[in-house]
Amino acid sequence: MEQLIIAGVLLIVGYGFGNYLETRHYKYIRLREKRLINKPSVNLRSAPLENKEVISSELAIGSTVVSVDYFKRFLAGLRLVFGGRLTSYESLLDRARREALLRMKESVKNADIYLNVRIETSSISKGRNEKSVGSIEAVAYSTAVKFKEVS
């Protein structure tokens, strides 16, 4: 019975806090994405120059670590039995990738375009011990290119 109560409380707390933090994070992500929408990031190796002169290029890198709440872990645990899409983890990965991309752009603020963008995701916790945490790290890196301004 005690276990049932603990699990129930953790589910409610996990859902409440997880939902609140996710909504707040998405709001913040969208705000910054709008602000940086004119700074494209592409996975092309060479720049679509259109006769523009490159005056600087440097490595832009951004990374983030996001953890999942108890409710989503619980849901994912159930999914492990039946299989199917792990929908509860989709937003976790989405947030991590987008946050890493934004941080990458913010690392070189004066760039005009971010070329050869790569995103890598890794699990922070592996193994099955009691203290493992369901969190992921997303790293985004690219070549930040600054064009010469045409007067």
Partner 1 sequence: MKVKQIDTEEHNQNVSNVNHFKEILILVSSIFGFVIFLYWASIFAVDKIVDGLTPELETRLFNIMEKYPTKNDDTASNNNPKFIKAKKVLNSLVEHSSLKGQSYRLKIIPGKDINAFALPGNTILIVNELLERIETENELAMVLGHELGHFHHKHHLKNMGRQFVMGFFSMVIFGDNNPVSKFFLGGLDYTEKSFNREQESDCDIYGAGLVVKKYSHLAGAFGFFERLKKGEGVLHKYFSTHPISEDRINKVKSFALANGFSITGELTPLEPRPDSL
Closest CB to partner 1 among 48 and 122? Answer: 48
Minimum distance from residue 76 beta carbon to partner 1 (Å): 9
Q: Which residues make up the interface to partner 1 (CB under 8 A)?
A: 1-8, 10-11, 30, 33-34, 36-42, 48, 50, 70-75, 77-82, 85, 87-88, 90-91, 93-94, 98, 113, 128-130, 132
CA–CA distance, 136 with 67 (Å, rounded to integer):
6
Which residue carries 């070549």 as its tokens? 143
Asked if residues 33 and 103 have their Cβ atoms less than 8 Å apart, the reply is no
Minimum distance from residue 20 beta carbon to partner 1 (Å): 15
Pairing of strands 135-147, 113-123: antiparallel
Closest CB to partner 1 among 126 and 149? Answer: 126
Q: List Cβ neighbours of 133 (8 Å cut-off, separation of 6 or more).
A: 67, 124, 125
Minimum distance from residue 124 beta carbon to partner 1 (Å): 15
CA–CA distance, 143 with 138 (Å, rounded to integer):
17
Closest CB to partner 1 among 42 and 59? Answer: 42
Closest CB to partner 1 among 33 and 58? Answer: 33
Minimum distance from residue 135 beta carbon to partner 1 (Å): 15
Strand partners, 14: none
